[in-house]
Amino acid sequence: MRLLPVKSTLVILTLAGCLVLPERVPALKQYGLIDWHVLPGLLDFPPGNLWTVAEEIEEPRVAGAAVGSTGRIAGAEGALDTFFAALHRTEMGEQDAVTRVLHYGDSPTTADMITADVRDLLQSRFGDAGHGFCLITKPWAWYGHRGLRYAAEDWVVEAATQTRVRDGFYGLGGASFRGETGVTASFTLKEPGQTRFELSFLRQPSGGIVSIDADGRPVGAVNTASLPGSAASPDWREFALPAAARRVRLTVASGSVRLFGVRFEKPGPGVVYDSLGLNGAYISVLARMFHERHWAEQLRHARPHLIVINYGTNESAYEQFIEKSYAKELREAVRRIREATPATSVLVMSPMDRGVRELGGDIGTLPAIPRLVAIQEEVAREEGCAFFNTFLAMGGEGTMGRWYDGDPRLVGGDFIHPMPRGARIIGNLLYEALFDSYNRYKIRRMQERMAATREAR
């Protein structure tokens, strides 16, 4: 039998000692490299494609995983009126009445978790107006959009949370994609019916040509070049898709291009709910990293009725940032949105609970979470935004511990990222809170009309 080299053997023995000794010697406990309690949970993310995993989930019946009351949307009366007015037109079946939502979030939404659940519920109730906005390809292996499969190679990906593009141009979804001649990106639709396709790109003097085909048949082409000497600027081109189309492919036919995303839609009435999650995202992405004018153009083009700002999990590890900067950054993000689309409703959505292994072995709540949620609620109220307290709605302090210990397990071994069952709970809570507020909006409007009628007499 061949023995390992001496140096390799010493390295392995040293690593083993570093892993085992803190568990055996109390004085070394604080120097442990691995929390052995959570190791199994790091491996239990369900396999399979993101568009099928949700379909395999039954409604959770979880022992020891208490879920709080549904909760209500807080904030000034009328904070969501733009969104609810659009939703009412959609509900009444007005022609082409599409209600549009942009949901900015961090890593759970990167995989279209939570957002897909809210989308499904809203579209089941008010009509399905399509998939909405999607990135060109996967910046991270777990990026996804329920109902779509991605296939792409050789794109240069620049996400706002991973690179600092000098111009700050990240499109609507927070990522830029550069491709040369021959590079492709394809989108396979689980179900047909998407009849509108839009490409978002940067028009620049050195821009190349992108061709689009559906099921192998040409749909059109886009020349992304601008006039010589002109400044780079965002642009969009829309194409009609055959209703039966199942696979749409982009190909860089010539030159070099820079793309931001695509949009799939169906004829209204219905709801479009854009999932705009970025891995590692935090509030400064909106407040600082996005070029303000560029992002404003993206928002105006998207014409949202509601924008959800759903950050806080990543910031919660930095107490000084929370105390000194978080409120200022959140106000700046709201200001930018209001400057770009003054009539749009804004909903600040708090993070979920974030668990931490305590000295006694129990899973508690990271201390900064309640303070962060309180700051978000205060800023939302002062800025005239709506606020949804996800943390309390899901059960408050200790929820992630109950979710981790429950059967079935609802959160992964990091006590941060929900399993699909847990994401479904959060999506249901948000949907029910929005629907409750929508019903109260309709009652208020009816009362206002009745009062106006009495005064007219």
Lowest mean pLDDT among 14-18, 388-392, 445-449: 14-18
Residues of the chain with pLDDT > 70, as a percent, come to 85
Q: Which of 30-39, 122-131, 137-146, 205-214 has the lowest mean pLDDT?
A: 30-39
The yes-or-no verdict on residue 34 having pLDDT over 50 is no
CA distance 397 to 121: 27
The CA–CA distances, whole Å, from 260 to 89, 233, 296, 379, 383 equal: 30, 12, 15, 31, 30
Q: What pLDDT does 200 receive? A: 98
| pLDDT confidence bin for 16, thresholds 50/70/90 | low
pLDDT for the residue numbered 10: 55
pLDDT in the model for residue 12: 59
Q: Which residue in 282, 303, 280, 284 sits closest to 292, CA to CA?
A: 284
Q: Is it the case that residue 297 has pLDDT exceeding 80?
A: yes
Concatenating the DSSP letter of every residue in 174-239 gives: TEEEEEETT-EEEEEESSS---EEEEEEEEBTTB-EEEEEETTEEEEEEE-B--TTPPPEEEEEEE
- Per-residue pLDDT at 228: 85
Q: Rounded to an integer, what distance in angstroms lies between the CA atom of residue 217 and that of residue 32?
A: 58
Residue 294 φ then ψ, to 5°: -60, -50
255: left (phi over 0), alpha (psi -120 to 50) or beta: left
pLDDT per position as a tens digit, 152-179: 989 999 999 987 788 999 999 999 999 9
Neighbours of 82 (CB within 10 A): 18
Q: What percent of the chain has pLDDT over 90?
A: 78
The pLDDT of residue 45 is above 90: no
Of 417, 342, 355, which is closest to residue 81 (Cα–Cα)? 342
What is residue 151's predicted lDDT score, i.e. its pLDDT? 94
In this predicted structure, the answer to whether residue 296 has a pLDDT above a threshold of 70 is yes
Query: What is the edge-to-edge ordering of all strands in the sheet holding 148-152?
Result: 148-152, 184-189, 247-254, 209-214, 217-223
Round to whole Å and give the CA distance between 276 and 186: 19
* DSSP, residue by residue, 45-108: SPPS-HHHHGGGPPPP--BT---------BSSTTTTHHHHHHHHHHHTT-TT-EEEEEEEESHH
CA dihedral 281→286→287→288, nearest 10 degrees, is 80
Which of 116-120, 159-163, 380-384 is predicted least confidently? 159-163
Label residue 5 by pLDDT band (50, 70, 90): low
Query: What is the average pLDDT value for the chain, to the nearest integer?
Result: 88
pLDDT at 6: 55
Alpha-carbon distance 166 to 255, whole Å? 22
Report pLDDT for 456.
80
Alpha-helical regions (H) of 253-389:
284, 292-302, 319-321, 327-340, 368-382
Indicate the Cα dihedral angle 410, 388, 105, 434, nearest 10°: 90
d(CA 418, CA 409): 9
What backbone phi and psi angles, to 5 degrees, belong to 279?
-65, 130
Q: What is the pLDDT of residue 268?
A: 87
Over residues 406-437, the pLDDT tens digits come to: 999 999 999 999 999 999 999 999 999 999 99
Query: Which helix or strand (DSSP H or E) is residue 151 part of?
Result: strand 148-152
> How far is it, in rounded angstroms, from Cα 274 to Cα 390?
19
Distance CA 231, CA 203 (A): 8
The whole-number average pLDDT for the span 57-61 is 40
Poorest-confidence range of 17-31, 49-63, 101-115, 316-330? 49-63
- Residue with the larger pLDDT of the pair 426 and 51: 426
DSSP readout, 377-444?
HHHHHHTT-EEE-HHHHTTSTTHHHHHHHSBS--B-TTSSSBPHHHHHHHHHHHHHHHHHHHHHHHHH
Candidate from 93-107, 152-166, 188-202 with smallest mean pLDDT: 152-166
Provide the terminal-to-terminal Cα distance of the chain, rounded to the nearest Å: 102
Q: Say whether pLDDT at 30 is over 70.
A: no
Torsion angle of alpha carbons 116, 122, 126, 128, nearest 10°? Answer: 0
